[in-house]
Amino acid sequence: MATPHIKAEKGDFAKTVLMPGDPLRAKYIAENYLENAVLVNEVRGMLGYTGTYKGKSVSVMASGMGMPSMAIYSYELFQFFDVDNIIRIGTAGAVSDKLGLRDIVIAMSSCTNSNFAEQYGLPGNIAPTASFELLKKAFDTSERLHKKVYVGSVYTTDIFYDDRNDLADWQKLGILATEMECAALYLNAARLGKNALCICTISDCPLTGESCSSDEREKTFNDMMEIALESV
């Protein structure tokens, strides 16, 4: 059953989908980690593949950048393609001064400046949180693989170039990192009774000016990819 954004049929996607933002990172994962990977979507260049990893069926598909894009693709995968679990494997900017380039953050929860949750008509604010089962499995996997991770809250923002320059204020609240998709994923999962987790690699440090190249972001964040794959 194709949707406006995904040209596939039920059964084309595994129950668990890994979602990088970058379509080329999805292709990299399919080519380097999955066996018998099949291209199941390429509408608008949002490449999606299904294959196996150590005998387990798994899919990987790009989400694009920002809350609206993640909201569309995660909703359609959950609602129309019988996907139960989505693990975002993305990039983030360091907010905490404990973090440096290539450190890995697992988002227990997300703060956001988005109005995405207004659609639910709630009388207060909802706190988007990860699925505990997926979070625990990813954390346990990171320990088994001897890969250090930081677990805590991230800040999901709609604004990449922000005149307010307020990351230092978020740092005071213990926020680990900033990114642009997590809150929408967590809210969609909660609303639809599904499971979601966000694992990010620090690709830049806005408060210090350090950053990785686009090629490094596409092809070298393997620790994060392996934690996600081993958690399936």
Closest by Cα among 58, 17, 9 to 188: 17
Residues with Cβ within 8 Å of 163's Cβ and at least 6 positions away in sequence, in order, are: none
Q: At what angle do helices 222-230 and 132-144 cross, to 10 degrees?
A: 120
Residues with Cβ within 8 Å of 172's Cβ and at least 6 positions away in sequence, in order, are: none
Closest by Cα among 207, 217, 210, 196 to 74: 196
Locate 129 and state its tokens.
Answer: 């949180």
CA distance 58 to 60: 7
3-state SS class at 168:
helix
| Other beta carbons within 10 Å of 163 | 6
204 noted as active-site residue: yes
- Candidates 12, 22, 103, 204; catalytic one: 204
Hey, which residues are catalytic here? Answer: 204
